Amino acid sequence: MPAVYIVADNIYSPIGTTTAQNFERIKQGISGIKKHHDLALSDESVHVSLFNYNENEYVNQFKNSKFEDLLIASVKDALTNSGINVAGEKTILIVSSTKGNISLLETDPNAPDLKNQIALHTSAKIVAKHFGFVNQPLVVSNACISGIMAILTGARLLQSGQYETAVVVGADVISKFVLSGFQSFQAISSEPCKPFDENRTGITLGEGAATMILSTNAKYADRIKVLGGAVSNDANHISAPSRTGKELAEAIERALGIAGLVPDDIDLVSAHGTATSYNDEMEAKAIALAGLSIVPVNSLKGYYGHTLGAAGLIESIISIQSLKQNVILPTLGFEKIGVSSPINVCTELTNKRMKTCLKTASGFGGCNAAVVFSK
């Protein structure tokens, strides 16, 4: 099968509007997570990573919903100087999200067209029309693995020969509707999240967008490659993850097999690391079962919060920058190991020559995903 190369990317988040800005600010230890006192968001004060929509000139400049404008802003930056012709018949747009425009239920009247407005395919078509994509866009929405699954879907479509280029974009915004769902599980941390830490108390949410442009064109052969990936489902519970980690471990092992690698070939694991009690425990077990206990592991949730449908893309792009710059980022908020399986959680900025990275994710409904990137 043809190799899949990463042509260009963008991260559009509360800490930066380009990939370069985001990576540099994370290296400086800057987080977008702040304590917010906003009754439109929650009856109680809550830590969350949000855009300042009054100050951010890029958001809502296209006069669509916040969600759609985030998608457009991210794609626009990624396309800049990429040389990609989005109007070509061999180019596909893939949109990843878990919630999309669901916040419109809070703000818009219950009119007949509201159902269409909150449909993900409607937003995807708005983005496609804005840029002039000629092919019908594809939507990937599978809980918190949506971003990674969208990357894998793009890669497989390219390898099938149906397309040569895939523009993969993901986004989610945080609203009272979204936040209250996690609060109902008593999953929201009262402080910024602490992935894998002994004193972790739950998840922190965040909003953001990210874009990754994939191509099989050999002229990009000097770029980072998507070597392979896999998904699995543990069929354990509608919201609780597997207690054994075997199913995520299976996805990791299959991803390594497709990539033609063994555990010793992996230089960095970018974990999902939500800082909930069960997810971190399950993920640590999976990493250990897959033979990756001594490989450096980090979670980026302490910088971004959990960005839902954008998480897999944002965290993959940051990991790719880590490969390019040979820098391992620390896990913000982590102090003392709080999971039963031994894993090597990064605690400080570390320079290390690297070639390959594994990115993992898990989500509601028992879904799991893993993808391997390589120089």
What does the domain layout of the chain look like in residue ranges? 4-220, 225-374
Q: Which CATH architecture has domain 4-220?
A: 3-Layer(aba) Sandwich (3.40)
pLDDT tens string 82-91 = 999 999 999 9
What percent of the chain has a predicted confidence (pLDDT) above 70? 98
Higher pLDDT, 103 or 169: 169
Side by side, which strands form the sheet with 33-36? Answer: 33-36, 46-49, 205-206
The pLDDT confidence band at residue 129, using thresholds 50, 70 and 90, is very high
pLDDT of residue 62: 63
pLDDT of residue 238: 86
Identify whether the C-beta of residue 49 lies closer than 8 Å to the C-beta of residue 206.
yes
What is the mean pLDDT of the segment spanning 250-255?
A: 98
- The whole-number pLDDT of residue 239 equals 83
What mean pLDDT comes out for the span 32-36?
A: 97
Q: Is it the case that residue 236 has pLDDT exceeding 90?
A: no
> Are the beta carbons of 4 and 155 closer than 8 angstroms?
yes
Mean pLDDT value of segment 239-246: 90
Instruction: Using the predicted structure, report yes or no on whether residue 131 has a pLDDT greater than 60.
Output: yes
Q: What is the mean pLDDT of residues 307-316?
A: 98
Average predicted confidence (pLDDT) for the chain = 95
What percent of the chain is modeled with pLDDT above 90? Answer: 89
Whole-angstrom distance, CA of residue 175 vs CA of residue 297: 30
Q: Which two tokens stand for residue 264?
A: 């010793």
Nearest one of 369, 371, 362 to 243, comparing CA atoms: 362
Q: What is the pLDDT of residue 52?
A: 85
pLDDT 10s digits, 133-168: 999 999 999 999 999 999 999 999 999 999 999 999
Output the pLDDT for position 59: 59
User: In the predicted model, is pLDDT for residue 93 greater than 70?
Assistant: yes
Judged against a pLDDT cut of 80, whether residue 53 lies above it is answered with: no
- pTM for the model stands at 0.97
pLDDT reading at 58 higher than 80: no
Residue 56: per-residue pLDDT: 60
User: Does residue 57 surpass a pLDDT of 60?
Assistant: no
**What tens digit of pLDDT does each residue of 261-274 get?**
999 999 999 999 99
Residue recorded with tokens 């390589």: 374
Are both 4-220 and 225-374 of the same fold? yes
What is the domain class of 225-374 according to CATH? alpha beta
Angle at 84 between CA 79 and CA 86, to 5 degrees: 90
Residues 231-259: what's their mean pLDDT?
A: 94
pLDDT at 374 > cutoff 80: yes
